[in-house]
Structure 1
Amino acid sequence: MEKDEKILIICIDRDDDLGRKTGIETPIIGREVNLKSAMELGLADPEESDMNCILGGIKLYDRLIAEKREVEIVTLGGSEEVGVVSDMIIAEKLDNVLERIEATRAIVVSDGADDEFILPLIQSRIPIDSVHRVVVRQSERLESAFYLIKQTLLDPRFSRSTLIPAGLVSLIYAVSIIFGHPEWATVSIFAFIGIYLLFLGVGLGDLMQNFFSAVKESFYGGKITFVTYIAALIIALVGTVQGGVGTWNYYVLHYSELPGYLLLFMVFLNESIWWYTGAGVLSWCGRMINMYLDRGAYWRHWASPLIILAFGLMMWGGSESVRLILEGSSGEGVRLLIFSIMGAVLISIIGVWISQSIKNYYSEDDQIEKDII
């Protein structure tokens, strides 16, 4: 730095502790006024770190004055609502200060990592030569760690993937204790962790997030899909309950001769798959209605319901055939599997043929309109 350049020492109080605890408004320009403000803040709250920040700025000011440099000191306060609101307030105050003080360089004084978050904001208005952190030595690492933890917890991706599972695990354990069966907690927690890992591995979590995003958009957009999506969700829940009831009834009747848990899963799938299929078709109906009203290319999706039906048929036939094989009826199970696969393929072919025929029909209409024009 050249000695004829004016240096502006900027003390940052991002959460405006000075204003909230003493009533002093920022910006505060000048050594004596800043020293008085720091003393008032220290009397109001002796443990306040922003007092150390201002005093550190004053000490730096005195040192530069002793070196015969042209320097000024200012304290900028933001808002208790730390973030966009406080940063906009600091930016506006800094612009006003720079209009009054013709500074060419700046030194930023802060009391921790939280205040230094706005360095790019300051640097976009005036070059920064140095950042001087003034923190009580015993609390420097603690404050930085607290800031890092706070920012991590505020990250939506981290909170959704970590805090929600941790909260559910704690809730499962608490419920098990309340009902007097702590041994359930271990089994339930491991089951939950297993299901959660499967969701992450298969990508079902993203599918569910996309589904709820679509429901939200359809609600705010006033579309019929909001009703059909909710109805499809209810049908899927009913199907899950139906599958659970059917599985329990089967277990009660055949618990002494069960070959394994695979059979129970096949029973559950067999009891619930048509409910899931109906939910998928209903969701498709809502989308088709919206696309028709929006004059979209709805003809491209006519194969979807038949493909959903084909999928449901294969899953039903596959689960039923596995159940028959596990019960000892291998021949009947294999025949059912073959017929269900053949039926699913036939339904899929019909769906693709219908979709292609409708596509060709609309393509011909478009060509006729172009020829007329």
Structure 2
Amino acid sequence: MARTIVIYIDIDDDLGEIGIETPVIGEEAVRKAIDTASEYMVYDSDFNSMVAAFNTYKRLKREGEDVEIVFIAGSNKSELEAQLAFSSKIDDVIEKLHPDQAIVVYDSPEDAKAIPIVQSRIKISAIEQVIVEQHRGVEETYMLIGRYLKRAFSEEKFSRIFLGVPGLIFVLVGIFSLLDLSYYIGPVILATIGVAMIIRGLRIDEQLEKWWENSVIMVITSVISIISVIIGIVSLDLELQSIRIMTLSQGIYIVLGTLLPYFTFSIVVLFSGKAISKAVYRDIRIWHDLIKVVSTIFLYYVIFDFLNEIIRNQFLGGEALFTLALSSAVIISSYIALSFVEKSKFTKTG
């Protein structure tokens, strides 16, 4: 008879916050965990998922199945940390119980991210998502709001948005008021909220966390890169304010000519940071990033010459196009040659 484990997934480690260490293995240990959870999180969907997993286990046991129940949590830190912690614990459980298949019980989309981790190690025979529907009165609604507010202030992943962004806005408003730059407060608030939405929506903060865990150099270069872009935008604003009347060609020259050095520097810093990270770990693919640095610098000079010819009304196109074609040919040839070298090196090692 195939041995089955019923796994309740708690990827963000809500159980750890109430003192339950995972993995929790076996009927008696799970009963105690449910009793503890009933004192702290009886209205939480996590509690309902725990009970649902336990009920599934008891039903299978009554039917004579060889079954065991396990509660496994991840971490309440970063998403990467949570998945790594969960991976380590599922490995320990499998090594201890030697199951043939698993039934997974979870409640939130965050918990669902652990399913591929389980699937990579053991056959999943069934998946159950617990969705709790409750009708609440006014008092219960206030209790629910209070509970979510508490999470917004105490849990790191929520406090970044609910405390971090408003806090940053208040600081910027205070600084701009002291500097008598109240005119910029409105745009600054909109820009701050917009940047926060972009960062969270595109999960840039999670990417930065991964970079920080894998390479501090990438985080430092990213910060320098962002500062360079901000300085470029401020410089452009000051430049445009000092000029009242301009032609279209002058406008294009001023916008591109002002922003181009800062944006080029920003890109070069990022690629250089990646190259330094690879150099630290002696990664042969460092040349990919060096090619990108050289290409960016070449492109900068070609565009800059092109802009100078336009503003002087001397654009013939020949010199700029020749430089672009020559530099492109050199870069592409170098890339092809280095690709052959890399492939031959990996072939020899393999």
1:331 is paired with a residue whose SS is coil
Matched, 1:352 2:340: no
2:18 is paired with a residue whose SS is helix
What code does the residue aligned with 1:338 have?
L
Gaps of 5+ in 1: 1-81, 100-105, 129-135, 220-225, 368-373
Matches within 5 A, 1:1-373: 83-86=15-18, 88=20, 95=28, 114=43, 117-122=46-51, 124-125=53-54, 139-151=139-151, 159-160=159-160, 163-193=163-193, 206=204, 209-218=206-215, 226=217, 229=218, 232-233=221-222, 236=225, 239-240=228-229, 243=232, 247=236, 255-259=243-247, 262-292=252-282, 298=284, 300-318=285-303, 321-322=306-307, 324-325=309-310, 327=311, 329=313, 331=315, 334-335=317-318, 337-363=320-346, 365-366=348-349
Please give the alpha-carbon distance, in whole angstroms, between the structure 2 residues aligned to 1:364 and 1:324.
Answer: 48
2:243 is paired with a residue whose SS is helix
Pair 97,139 (structure 1): closer, same or farther in 2 beyond 3 Å: same
Bigger CA radius of gyration: 1
Please give the alpha-carbon distance, in whole angstroms, between the structure 2 residues aligned to 1:311 and 1:167.
Answer: 37
Shift of 1:349: 0.7
Pair 305,121 (structure 1): closer, same or farther in 2 beyond 3 Å: same
Of the structure 1 ranges 157-166 and 175-184, higher mean CA displacement relative to structure 2 is found in: 157-166
Please give the alpha-carbon distance, in whole angstroms, between the structure 2 residues aligned to 1:341 and 1:183.
Answer: 43
Q: TM-score, normalised by structure 1?
A: 0.49
Shift of 1:355: 1.7
Shift of 1:162: 5.9
Shift of 1:164: 3.7
Please give the alpha-carbon distance, in whole angstroms, between the structure 2 residues aligned to 1:155 and 1:282.
Answer: 35
Pair 268,194 (structure 1): closer, same or farther in 2 beyond 3 Å: farther
Shift of 1:344: 4.3
Please give the alpha-carbon distance, in whole angstroms, between the structure 2 residues aligned to 1:199 and 1:213.
Answer: 14
Pair 212,115 (structure 1): closer, same or farther in 2 beyond 3 Å: closer
Quick one: percent identity of the two aligned structures?
10
What code does the residue aligned with 1:144 have?
L
Tell me the residue number matched to 1:37: none
Q: TM-score, normalised by structure 2?
A: 0.52
Please give the alpha-carbon distance, in whole angstroms, between the structure 2 residues aligned to 1:98 and 1:244.
Answer: 60
Pair 86,181 (structure 1): closer, same or farther in 2 beyond 3 Å: same
Shift of 1:214: 2.1
Please give the alpha-carbon distance, in whole angstroms, between the structure 2 residues aligned to 1:271 and 1:218.
Answer: 26
Pair 155,343 (structure 1): closer, same or farther in 2 beyond 3 Å: farther
What code does the residue aligned with 1:329 have?
N
Gaps of 5+ in 2: 1-13, 59-135
1:302 is paired with a residue whose SS is helix
Pair 246,185 (structure 1): closer, same or farther in 2 beyond 3 Å: closer
Please give the alpha-carbon distance, in whole angstroms, between the structure 2 residues aligned to 1:140 and 1:277.
Answer: 52
CA deviation digits over 1:55-82, x for unaligned, max 9? xxxxxxxxxxxxxxxxxxxxxxxxxxx8
Please give the alpha-carbon distance, in whole angstroms, between the structure 2 residues aligned to 1:241 and 1:188.
Answer: 12
What code does the residue aligned with 2:50 have?
L
Say what the alpha-carbon RMSD is for the aligned residues: 4.9
Pair 262,157 (structure 1): closer, same or farther in 2 beyond 3 Å: farther
CA deviation digits over 1:250-276, x for unaligned, max 9? 668x72444476544312333325533
What code does the residue aligned with 2:18 have?
S
Tell me the residue number matched to 1:59: none
Please give the alpha-carbon distance, in whole angstroms, between the structure 2 residues aligned to 1:319 and 1:162.
Answer: 43
> CA contact under 8 A between 1:239 and 1:273: conserved in structure 2?
yes
Please give the alpha-carbon distance, in whole angstroms, between the structure 2 residues aligned to 1:285 and 1:329.
Answer: 40
- Aligned residue pairs: how many? 253
CA deviation digits over 1:271-316, x for unaligned, max 9? 3255335424532432332342xxx5x2x45243123321332244
CA deviation digits over 1:6-64, x for unaligned, max 9? xxxxxxxxxxxxxxxxxxxxxxxxxxxxxxxxxxxxxxxxxxxxxxxxxxxxxxxxxxx
> CA contact under 8 A between 1:235 and 1:278: conserved in structure 2?
no
> CA contact under 8 A between 1:110 and 1:116: conserved in structure 2?
no
Pair 86,281 (structure 1): closer, same or farther in 2 beyond 3 Å: closer
> CA contact under 8 A between 1:310 and 1:347: conserved in structure 2?
no
Please give the alpha-carbon distance, in whole angstroms, between the structure 2 residues aligned to 1:97 and 1:304.
Answer: 51
Please give the alpha-carbon distance, in whole angstroms, between the structure 1 residues aligned to 2:296 and 2:197.
Answer: 25
Pair 165,324 (structure 1): closer, same or farther in 2 beyond 3 Å: farther
